[in-house]
Amino acid sequence: MKITQNKRLEPIDRVAITFIIFLGLVTCLLVWGNQVCATTEQCFLQVGPRVKNFSWSGKQIGAKDTAFILTFDRPMDEASVAQNLIINPPLPGKISWAGRRLAYTLAAPAPYGENYELRLRGAREKIRGKKELGKEIQPFSSKFSTRDRAFVYIGSQGEEEGRLVLYNLTEQRQKILTPDNLTVIDFNIYPQGDLILFSAVQSNKVNEGFANNQLYTVTTTDKGSKTGEIKLILDNKNYQNLKFALSPDGQTIILRRTNKKNPGKFGLWKLSENGKQEPLNNQSGGDFTIAPDSKTLALALGEGIAILSLEPNAEPIAFLPQYGRLVTFSQNGSLAAMVNYNRDNPELLYTQSLFLVRAGGGEEKLFSTNGSILDCKFNPTATILYCWLTQLVEETEEYREQPYFAAIDLQTKEILPLLVLPEYQDIKMSMARDGLGLLFEQVIADSATEDTSPERRIWLLIPPSTLSESDQPQLEQLPLVGFHPQWLP
């Protein structure tokens, strides 16, 4: 008599059989479609190349974002990529390669307030050792945007008076950032535009003067509150804070301070990001500007410009005795515009000369004037210098200077007057980081009364696209009343 035994499959056996059947079906399908691959690499190559990563995908970029990276999953034919890469709206630039990575460097900052789309299709892969091109890339598209055009000013009328106001030019809306119990004196904007450093006094103590101001920060991001988030950075218990400047990288504050107990003891101090306060123990001097490298500053000493380190007790780096004033730096710090008052030149007495000074050494005289050099700003690519100047009007017996706006081509040194402004007073300009235009204030002296301050208008000046006499700038008075407008980065 035979005894039979039923064998039951173990779970692992069932999984193995299922997997074998699945592989068999896949193999049959590949054979049927004539798609059998000899190797894994060969199978991989049956599919067209693709973009693995786009560094600006879904991001909001600013003027400091000068290049993006496209990474491919295999070597590409460079010419076909360049021919088929489309950015809409167009952003002129230059392509460079490093293996499977493409770098696209913009010729100028991307205009703010725009939405962009990058598309690539029709490019082909490069097959090693073969002249003919490989498969066509899988279609790729991605979107990115630039920051809104926005600026901050100090209000001078109504509920805005003495307060920081953020105006979004892209969306045509504004927001008061600081509370009404603080009267703002001056401010600097942090490099990301999300924070502002400002000096202010209590509004109920304005009559006591501005010498006892304190330093604060305020946020610019909209979190639904009526004002930004305020934080006290530096008080005035032991020192009077006379002037301050924020380094371009946002990590250091330089101040001129006076000891309240010993007013004769004053000088420059360094306030680090961690809150540490240190005297620089060098020249106290006059006006100062932190250089774009965030490591040095230019200090006017009366008889020249000193270049100093931001490190305490450091020896001066350089001294430029021929210049009496630093007007501005280019954004990358490679150039500076400086004024020579021509005190040592009998032929040019009572004139001013503007010089272009290079960081690596060398200088070029741009022009001389019997008027004044009020302010200048480089465009983002440092190819044009825009200046507010005055010219002495000699036809009248009364001494009078006529202000005008001019553009200087830094390659040809040609000076093109663009605009005459009838009334002016202490004009300071702010250049948009994307190069759109310049903001400035105009103080109308005749508008002052016994009870009110002079009217302050804010203007937007958009320079012409080309420096030719046929092209004229656009000048627009903005519906705002305030002063010291500064573009957000």
At residue 304, the pLDDT reads 92
Q: Residue written as tokens 């001294």? A: 319
What CATH number has the domain bearing residue 65?
2.60.40.1220
Domain annotation covers residue 440: no
Report yes or no on 51 lying in a domain: yes
Within-domain flag for 58: yes
Res 9 pLDDT > 70:
no
Instruction: Please give the Cα distance from 39 to 27 (Å, whole number).
Output: 14
- Answer whether 0.95 is exceeded by the pTM: no
pLDDT at 29 over 60: no
Domain presence at residue 55: yes
Identify the pLDDT of residue 392.
Answer: 83
- Summarised one tens digit per residue, pLDDT across range 245-294 is 999 999 999 999 999 888 878 899 999 988 899 999 877 778 999 999 99
430-433: long-range pairs with CB below 8 Å, 24+:
430/151, 430/377, 430/485, 430/486, 430/487, 431/377, 431/378, 431/379, 431/380, 431/386, 431/487, 432/112, 432/149, 432/487, 433/62, 433/63, 433/109, 433/112, 433/331, 433/380, 433/487, 433/488, 433/489
* Residues 204, 208: Cα–Cα separation, whole Å: 9
Q: In this structure, is residue 33 part of a structural domain?
A: no
The yes-or-no verdict on residue 141 having pLDDT over 90 is yes
Our CA angle for 429, 489, 217, nearest 5°, is 95
Is residue 463's pLDDT more than 60? yes
Q: What per-residue confidence (pLDDT) applies to 8?
A: 55
Domain count of the chain? 1
Please indicate whether residue 76 or residue 423 has the higher confidence score (pLDDT): 76
In the three-class reduction of DSSP (H, G, I as helix; E, B as strand; rest coil), residue 80 is classed as helix
* Type of residue at 223: K
pLDDT in tens, 377-413: 999 999 999 999 998 887 666 778 888 999 999 999 9
Looking at the domain assignment, is residue 70 inside a domain?
yes
- Say whether 39 sits in a helix, a strand or coil: coil
**Bridge partner residues of 477 (DSSP):** 459
Instruction: For residue 269, tell me if it sits in a domain.
Output: no
Give the integer Cα–Cα distance in Å for 105 and 124. 22
Domain extent, residue 122, equals 40-146
Answer whether residue 72 is part of any domain. Answer: yes
Residue written as token pair 């930004």: 228
Does residue 37 have a pLDDT over 70? no
pLDDT tens digits, one per residue of 340-379: 999 888 888 889 999 999 988 899 999 999 999 999 999 9
Mean pLDDT of all residues in 468-489: 90
> Could you tell me how far CA 206 lies from the centroid of its own chain?
33
Give the model confidence (pLDDT) of 48-76 as tens digits: 999 999 999 999 999 999 999 999 999 99
